[in-house]
Amino acid sequence: MPGAAGRKKKDRQALLAHITTIPFRRRMTQQCLADELGVARSVVWDAIAQGQLLRHTNTIHPLLTKENKHARIRHALRHVVHGSDGSHFSPTYNVVHVDEKWFNEDTNKRVFYVLPGETVPHRERKSKRFIGKTIFLAAIARPK
């Protein structure tokens, strides 16, 4: 009788149903989720491998207002030159590009382990100014 040998499969439906009661902040790693469920990490890994549990990466999205969007369009339109041969962008030979790079000291990306079909929290902020930051500043211009 093929298939009758070996360890019997365990029913994990009760365990998977318990995942929905665990808050998202406590299921960001496989080990944390396994600790909350009271099982080994390999059980969580098996659920991921079988497609019963999904790994979802979630980032903070910028909250753009209508005024922010209009300001972006106005900035782009300032560089358009209208002439008799049509419209084109200005050559920007007299422009200095200042680039600043901000690094957050806290992570911007969160990973959650969710069940298929489960809604993932949508994370957005008006400002990330309350997260500690470090800045690098650079300027680029056309050489003379």
Confirm whether 7 is domain-assigned: no
Does 25 score more than 90 pLDDT? no
> Residue 46 domain-assigned?
yes
Strand partners, 62: 125
Give the Cα separation of 35 and 52 in Å (integer): 18
Inside any domain, residue 43: yes
Nearest to 124 by CA among 110, 105, 113, 139: 110
In a domain, 2, yes or no: no
Please tell me the total count of domains within the chain.
Answer: 1
Alpha-carbon gap, residue 36 to 98, rounded angstroms: 48
Q: Is residue 65 part of a domain?
A: yes
The reply to whether 66 falls in a domain is: yes
**Token pair recorded at residue 119:** 């809604």
User: In percent, how much of the chain has pLDDT > 90?
Assistant: 40
Please state, in angstroms and as integers, the Cα–Cα distance from residue 115 to each residue in 21, 33, 68, following that order. 12, 12, 36
* Beta-strand pair 124-125/61-62: parallel
pLDDT for 114:
86
Average pLDDT taken over every residue of the chain? 86
DSSP string over 25-40: GG-SSHHHHHHHHTS-
Residue 83 domain-assigned? yes
The whole-angstrom separation of Cα 127 and Cα 133 is: 12
pLDDT for the residue 125: 66
Please indicate whether residue 32 or residue 130 has the higher confidence score (pLDDT): 32
Residue 3 counted as domain residue: no
What pTM, to 2 d.p., does this model score?
Answer: 0.49
Domain that holds residue 67: 13-140
Q: What is the pLDDT of residues 66-110, one digit of tens each?
A: 999 999 999 999 989 998 889 998 887 888 989 999 887 666 678
